[in-house]
Amino acid sequence: MHIRTLGQGMRVSALGLGCMGMSQSYGPNPGTREDMIEVIRSAADAGVTFFDTAEVYGPHVNEELVGEAIGPIRDQVQVATKFGWDIRNGRSVGLNSRPEQIRKVADASLRRLGVEVIDLFYQHRVDPDVPIEDVAGTVGELVRAGKVRHFGLSEVGAATLRKAHATHPVTAVQSEYSLWTRDPEPEVLPACAELGVGFVPFSPLGKGFLTGTVDPGASFSEGDIRATIPRFDAEHLPANQPLVDHVRLLAEAKGATPGQIALAWLLAQRPWIVPIPGTRRLSRLRENAEATAVGLSADERADLDDLAARVGVAGDRYGEAHMNLVGR
């Protein structure tokens, strides 16, 4: 797998691994903790060097899982985690990016991950009660203290990104981006290009939809986040099916899978984009890794570029409460 460069010279594999689903959000895990450790280590064997977690995943247990998995291979990989939530009695009760909270979370994440430095430390969501300059300045202090290497922002608006970057250089913005979620294109991606900031798409496979494995009549188990997402409602899934059908036809013509086409399209957008598809299965891990070898012609890219606008996407990507937290 080839290497890409995010902002501030941070070099990572072209695809990372999102680890959230190993601990939450997609219903019962089909594997054991040992199975998930095997997936993470197998990803490293396949050339993945970039692993994504957060204190709120679990909460806390996902960092512990990732920490255990990367222990023997720490010198081969880079780990990103996130701060920004007020976690009490094992659940998030709101946002908290006050400087003292950021410092507290950094120390706790270092312990849970079992590392001496966090490679990339994201603010998970913008806290409207804390000036972004204070957030960036606090992370800058952690960088100077040797506890953090790079500063990132998640689901941030372009204006806030510029303010943060002026205080301490931002290495990466992480936001949802895929063939059916194009929100970053008008403002955030141009701002990243202007500032030299990398971009890390989460849910690059549309929470599984773009793999072509979600039936239009699908229902989701308790604990599966898709049960709360409008795009996966019974009224919207059939309307969205033509989009993935189009991707499937191209995949069949190229001897690839729909998921590989979706990842290849993202990789072709900018050289500083590093998607982080998540999986709990070795077979899907191998499939995703092979997407880096799928080439798209200029005509195929152009066709995919306007696919969502041409075919249409029904339903928001989150419920109203969560949508209010993004793009600030």
Domain enclosing residue 55, as ranges: 3-323
Nearest to 136 by CA among 160, 109, 105, 111: 160
Quote the pLDDT of residue 168: 98
Query: Is 189 part of any domain?
Result: yes
Quote the pLDDT of residue 222: 86
Query: Is 201 part of any domain?
Result: yes
Overall number of domains in the chain: 1
Query: Is 53 part of any domain?
Result: yes
Whichever domain contains 95, its CATH number is: 3.20.20.100
Query: Is 328 part of any domain?
Result: no
Query: Is 261 part of any domain?
Result: yes
Quote the pLDDT of residue 251: 98
- Write b or e for each residue in 83-106: b if 16 or more Cβ atoms lie within 10 A of its Cβ, otherwise e: bbbebeeeeeeebbbbeebbbebb
Quote the pLDDT of residue 80: 98
Residue 129 tokens, joined: 């009660």
The catalytic position among 26, 57, 122, 318 is 57
Cα separation, 164 vs 168, in Å, equals: 6
Quote the pLDDT of residue 104: 98
3-state secondary structure of 238: helix
Tens digit of each residue's pLDDT, the chain (328 residues): 999 999 999 999 999 999 999 999 999 898 999 999 999 999 999 999 999 999 999 999 999 999 999 999 999 999 999 999 999 998 999 999 999 999 999 999 999 999 999 999 999 999 999 999 999 999 999 999 999 999 999 999 999 999 999 999 999 999 999 999 999 999 999 999 999 999 999 999 999 999 999 999 999 988 899 999 999 999 999 999 999 999 999 999 999 999 999 999 999 999 999 999 999 999 999 999 999 999 999 999 999 999 999 999 999 999 999 999 999 9
Residue found by looking up tokens 């720490």 in the block = 74
- pTM score, two decimals? 0.97
Query: Is 89 part of any domain?
Result: yes
Q: Is 318 a catalytic residue?
A: no
Cα separation, 170 vs 152, in Å, equals: 5
